[in-house]
Structure 1
Amino acid sequence: MKKRNKFKHSLYLLIALAMLLYALPQLSFQNGPSWVLGFGIVWCVFAFLIIAAHLHFIIGVDEEKQKRLEAVRKHKLEQWQGKWNEETRMSQRL
């Protein structure tokens, strides 16, 4: 499943790069500041953020953090199951 996710993120990264490469030459700085130029710059900033997010996932910077979070989730689930079992035993005694 991880390979599929990495493939999906790689595909989205390539699409975002293609969109950015298409849009950058369309920006015109000759007319001075305008709403169109402002929109283009903001759009490019968002495209760079999307590219950075996908690269972050593909490179796997957060793999250690994910492992720690999964360990915490397992521990919480075990605690919840223990409480559930204890409540079930208590209710059966009544």
Structure 2
Amino acid sequence: MSRTYLQIGFIAMILLVLIALSSIPYIKRRLGKRWFSLHQLSLLVVVLAAIHYYLSLKAYNIDSLLFLALCGVFVLWKTFARRVLAWCYR
């Protein structure tokens, strides 16, 4: 059995460490406007964590699929909410 879920979890952990390190005030000042772009990777981490959870289960159940779907909806909302709300209120 392939252990893809471990690789996905490791990538998510590395990204979280990078995001945490970039929150140090000195590094945050050095990054400037790129700091926000780097923190947008947290949305990718949410998706990777949900996939990691889904793949790590030995028996698939509705809870893991529900968690994966909710994370997907959250990421889509965070990505497109500003555009959708601007379109609704024009």
TM-score, length basis structure 1:
0.41
Larger radius of gyration: 1
TM-score, length basis structure 2:
0.42
